[in-house]
Amino acid sequence: MVFAMFTIDLLKGQGVPIRSGPEGIVVVAVTLVVPVVVAIVMLGCYLRSSIVMSIQKQDILNYETKIEELVDAVQLQKSFEQEKSQINNCLSEVASSIGNHTQWSPIVAEVVKNMPDSMCMTKLRIERRFVKKQVPSKDNPLNMVEITVPARTLQIGVCALLHSDSSVAIRDFRDSLRASPLLQPELENIRVSQKAGKLDDKDVVSYEINCDFKEGL
């Protein structure tokens, strides 16, 4: 007895599966490979992006560290500049003070050298003040401008016994100061005043000699 198998396609060829063959295997392979390749590419891009972001974050941290170091360096530099400015100001004041004081050293020595042996010094003081003066302008000598200049007076106090020949001694002292090669070019005027008094319970005559120096000394 012979049996025959018949296949009836009720879908008219639209639902019959394609028999396995080279074309089918290629289609299946391509269908499987493409998602894998896409996944691998996406994974590679993700890993690459992660590595790049990590490097960039480290670079940013390094830049921030360098910026902080630079900020500290700038602040330190500003501190050094302020300290330098303060030191320069102090040096200028010291230089000015030295100039104002050392110029009187030879004058004081000259006063002491010429003071009579019969007298003793009771006061030595420098009076400093400022006066206004008209001088020619630097830009136009025909125009006069007002400036402020220093004026100084050396006050010398001396005394002698009341019954001594002090008037002659004080006159010689005044003349020696006026004729001094050191003082004469700078002196404007010498004024002398006297009064009676006591020193160590002794009657004395006191003299005050005011040496007015030329303005600007």
> What is residue 99's predicted lDDT score, i.e. its pLDDT?
52
- Stretch 40-44: mean pLDDT: 72
Please give the pLDDT value at position 37.
65
Q: Is 17 within a domain?
A: no
In a domain, 46, yes or no: yes
**pLDDT band for position 176 (50/70/90)?**
very high
Say what the pLDDT of residue 191 is.
93
| Per-residue confidence band for 3, with pLDDT thresholds at 50, 70 and 90 | very low
- The reply to whether 86 and 131 lie within a common domain is no
How does DSSP classify residue 12? T
What would the two tokens of residue 42 be? 């996406």
Give the mean pLDDT of the chain.
76
| Among 3-17, 33-47, 115-129, the range of highest mean pLDDT | 115-129
Name the pTM for this structure.
0.50
Q: Kindly indicate the confidence band of residue 2, based on its pLDDT and cuts at 50, 70 and 90.
A: very low
Q: Does 207 lie in the same domain as 176? A: yes
Nearest to 188 by CA among 167, 213, 170, 168: 213
Residue 50 has pLDDT above 80, yes or no: no
Using alpha carbons, select from 155, 217, 156, 210 the residue that is nearest to residue 186.
217
Q: Which residues pair with 207 in a beta bridge?
A: 158, 194
Residue 4 lies inside a defined structural domain of this protein: no
98 and 129 co-located in one domain: no
Average pLDDT over residues 66-70: 76
Identify the CA nearest to 157 among candidates 186, 129, 187, 115.
Answer: 115
Confidence category of residue 27, pLDDT binned at 50, 70, 90: low
Residue 10 is assigned to a structural domain of this protein: no
CA angle at 47 for the pair 44 and 53, rounded to the nearest 5°? 135
* 97 and 146 fall within a common domain: no
* Residue 109 shares a structural domain with residue 75: no
Across 36-65, average pLDDT? 75
pLDDT of residue 96: 57
CA angle 16, 22, 28 (to 5 degrees): 70
Q: Is residue 176 part of a domain?
A: yes
Which neighbouring-strand residues pair with 134? 146
127 DSSP β-pair partners:
153
pLDDT in tens, 135-159: 788 888 788 888 888 888 889 998 8
Q: Assess whether 202 and 110 both reside in one domain.
A: yes
The C-alpha R_g of the chain, in whole angstroms, comes to 54
Residues 83 and 120 occupy one common structural domain: no
Q: Which structural domain, as residue segments, surrounds residue 185?
A: 105-213
Side-chain-facing half-sphere of 18: CA atoms under 13 Å: 9
pLDDT in tens, 4-21: 455 555 555 555 555 555
**Distance of alpha carbon 111 from the chain centroid:** 42
**Residue 129 is part of a domain; what is its CATH number?**
3.30.70.60
Res 94: pLDDT = 58
- Total number of domains constituting the chain: 2
Q: In whole angstroms, give the CA distance from residue 113 to residue 216.
A: 25
Comparing 115 with 51, the larger pLDDT belongs to 115
